[in-house]
Amino acid sequence: MEKLADLRYTEGYPTGKVQAGWQAKRTSSIEASVSGDMFLSSQTELIGMPFATCFLFTCTKVRGQDYRLAWISSLS
């Protein structure tokens, strides 16, 4: 996940005070172009379909833990 996550400093994180029972989380997102081939099959044929699209990957980090992939959104 570190390769997807942007390690820039966020003011106040992770030393900022938060409400009791809550956790401060750092978020980081990157837009990436992805391409490849998707294959669909039936009992009689295999169809290959190339694709090229853009995704937004978002990671979160809690103090003392590694970045984790939180969600992926297609931008097409």
Average pLDDT, the chain: 81
- Count other Cβ atoms within 10 Å, centred on residue 8: 7
9: which residues sit within 8 A by CB, 6+ positions away?
none
What is the arithmetic mean of pLDDT over 18-24? 83
What is the arithmetic mean of pLDDT over 31-35? 89
The DSSP code for 58 is E
pLDDT value for 16: 66
pLDDT value for 74: 86
